[in-house]
Chain A
């Protein structure tokens, strides 16, 4: 039982390049989330997926797209990376519903030059 896994662990992009961050969970959770964390700051919700087949915007969705590929996988895409998107990206999952505990992955460190 690996929990929540994320790939890649680290990535360097040039401005304007695109990339997809992958996330998978093996806990049979219904809900999945993508957050970003800037240095010294808390986490901010980018997008979430309450259940398979649904996605919704969080606090900071601009410049990102997501795909809930199936119940296990939830990907985050940067279509045209910008230096302001340099951050650590965390994926999380929960059983679903109000107040549910979220389980986080190890994070992806992204540097946009």
Chain B
């Protein structure tokens, strides 16, 4: 199983760019990298997914180097509402179906 390692917590201020890096040394050739966001008392919510290089959507960017052993979630100009736990997951397939392994995540606190 591809295990992920990410910082336990991070602090930032409104308007700054936040980069959260995740290590996944044992990523398999066909695995995807997915990031989820979780607010207190809610279920996780999908943010972004990628396989290699760079992916960008309306809320974040995901940078994946050529060796794919790590990835970086970039949140541009964070606001107080971005305070949440962010999970990095590597897709684990068994029989063609997806089983995601959630780690402890990174607790991001955005300050005024």
Contacts and interface: CB of A to CB of B under 8 A. Distances in A.
Contacts of A45: 99-101
A92 interface: yes
Contacts of A48: 97, 99
A: contact size bracket:
20 to 34
A31 interface: yes
B93 to A, nearest CB: 4
A98 B33 CA distance: 11
B81 interface: no
B95 A42 contact: no
A92 B97 CA distance: 14
Interface in A40-73: 40-45, 48, 50, 56, 58-59
B32 A42 contact: no
A98 B43 contact: no
B64 to A, nearest CB: 13
Interface stretch (B17-25, B44-52, B71-79): B44-52
Contacts of B95: 50
Contact of A99 (B34, B41, B44, B101): B34
Interface of B: 30-32, 34, 41-46, 49, 87, 91, 93-105
Interface of A: 4, 31, 35, 40-45, 48, 50, 56, 58-59, 90, 92, 94, 96-107
Given A98-B30, A98-B93, 18 more contacts: A31-B97, A41-B104, A42-B103, A43-B87, A45-B99, A50-B96, A59-B101, A97-B96, A97-B98, A98-B32, A98-B96, A99-B91, A101-B46, A102-B44, A102-B46, A102-B100, A104-B42, A106-B42
